[in-house]
Amino acid sequence: MAILVDRETRVICQGITGAQASFYTERAISFGTRMVGGVRPGKGGSRHLGLPVYDDVAAAKADTGADASVIFVPRENAADAIIEAIAAEIPLVICITEHIPVLDMIRVRECLAGSATRLLGPNTPGIITPEACRIGIMPREIFRRGRVGIISRSSTLTYEAVWQTTDAGLGQSTCVGIGGDPIHGLGFVDCLELFATDAETDLVVLVGEIGGSEEERAADYLSGPAYPKPVMAYIAGEHAPAETRMGHASAIIQAGSGAAAGKKRALRGAGVRVVDSPVDIGAAARDLLAR
Amino acid sequence: MNLHEYQAKAILRDHGIAVPAGRVAETPAEAESAAKEIGGERWMVKAQILAGGRAQGTFKGQDLKSGIRTVTNLTNVGTESRSMLGRSLITPQTGPDGMLVDRVYVEQALPVERELALALLVDETSQSLVLLLSAVGGTGIEATLRDQPEAVARIPVSTESGPDAESFDGALKALGLDGRGADSIRDLARQLTALARELDFTLLEINPVGLAGETCTALDAKIIADDNALFRQPLLVGLDDQDDSAGNRRRASRDGFNYIRMGGDVACMTVGAGLSMATLDTLVQFGGQPANFLDLPPDSQVNRVTSALELLLGGDGIGCLLINVFGGGIMRCDTVSDALQVINNVRPFRVPVVVRLAGTNAELANRRLREGLPGVVQAANMADAARLAVQLARSGKSADPRAPENWLKKIIHRVTGQQEERD
Contacts 24+ apart (CB under 8 A), B279-282: B279/B322, B279/B324, B279/B382, B279/B386, B280/A237, B280/A239, B280/A240, B281/A236, B281/A237, B281/A238, B281/A239, B281/A276, B281/A277, B281/A278, B282/A277, B282/A278, B282/A279, B282/B382, B282/B383, B282/B386
For chain A, domains (ranges, CATH) are 10-120 (3.40.50.720), 138-290 (3.40.50.261)
Question: Which span out of B4-8, B301-305, B325-329, B401-405 was modeled with the highest average pLDDT?
Answer: B4-8
**Nearest residue of A to residue B384, measured between CA atoms:** A279
Give residues 3 to 62 of B whose Cβ lies within 8 Å of A: none
Annotation says A239 is catalytic: no
Look up the CATH number of domain B21-108.
3.30.1490.20
- All structural domains of chain B with their residue ranges: 21-108, 114-232, 248-416
Please, which residues bridge with residue B155 across strands?
B131
pLDDT at residue B422, as a whole number? 43
Topology (CATH level 3) of domain B114-232: D-amino Acid Aminotransferase; Chain A, domain 1 (3.30.470)
Partners of A237 on chain B (C-beta within 8 Å) are 277, 280-281
Partners of B285 on chain A (C-beta within 8 Å) are 276-277, 279
pLDDT (tens digit, 9 = 90+) per residue, B65-95?
799 999 999 999 999 999 999 999 998 877 7
Interface check B416 vs A, CB under 8 A? no
- CA of B401, closest CA in chain A: separation in Å? 33
CB pairs under 8 A between A and B: 176
Please check the confidence at residue A64 and state whether its pLDDT lies above 80: yes
Q: Which among A75, A212, A243 is the nearest to B124, CB-wise?
A: A212
Please check the confidence at residue B314 and state whether its pLDDT lies above 70: yes
- Give the DSSP H or E segment for A284: helix A281-290
Please, which residues bridge with residue B118 across strands?
B133, B206
For residue A245, report the phi and psi dihedrals to the nearest 5 degrees: -85, 120
Interface check A230 vs B, CB under 8 A? no
Question: Is residue A179 left, alpha or beta, with left meaning phi > 0 and alpha meaning psi from -120 to 50?
Answer: left
pLDDT (tens digit, 9 = 90+) per residue, B118-160?
999 998 888 999 999 999 988 777 778 788 888 999 999 999 8
Q: Which among B293, B326, B328 is the nearest to A240, CB-wise?
A: B293
Mutate to test the interface with A, among B2, B121, B124 (most CBs of A within 10 A): B124
Interface check A198 vs B, CB under 8 A? no
pLDDT (tens digit, 9 = 90+) per residue, A218-258?
999 999 999 999 999 999 999 887 645 544 444 444 444 67
Q: Which among A100, A250, A278 is the nearest to B278, CB-wise?
A: A278
Residue B398's pLDDT band, with cuts at 50, 70 and 90, is: very low
pLDDT at residue B248, as a whole number? 53
Task: In whole angstroms, give the CA distance from residue B188 to residue B109.
Answer: 20
SS3 call for A274: strand
Closest CA to A223 of A264, A266, A262, A192: A266
Partners of B270 on chain A (C-beta within 8 Å) are 156
**Nearest residue of B to residue A208, measured between CA atoms:** B274
Task: In whole angstroms, give the CA distance from residue A73 to residue A84.
Answer: 12
Interface check B96 vs A, CB under 8 A? no
Partners of B330 on chain A (C-beta within 8 Å) are 20, 137
Residue B98's pLDDT band, with cuts at 50, 70 and 90, is: confident
Interface check B146 vs A, CB under 8 A? no
Mean pLDDT (chain A) is: 92
ipTM: 0.89
Partners of A110 on chain B (C-beta within 8 Å) are 128, 158-160
Give residues 207 to 246 of B whose Cβ lies within 8 Å of A: 226, 228-229, 231-232
Look up the CATH number of domain B248-416.
3.40.50.261
pLDDT at residue B167, as a whole number? 97
Which residues are CB-contacts of B162 (< 8 A; sequence separation ≥ 6)?
B189, B190, B193, B194
Partners of B359 on chain A (C-beta within 8 Å) are 139, 141-142, 159, 163
Mutate to test the interface with A, among B277, B296, B415 (most CBs of A within 10 A): B277
Range in A199-203, B21-25, B330-334, B370-374 the model is least confident about: B330-334
Q: Which among A102, A138, A217 is the nearest to B202, CB-wise?
A: A102
Strand B377-378 and strand A34-39: pairing? unpaired
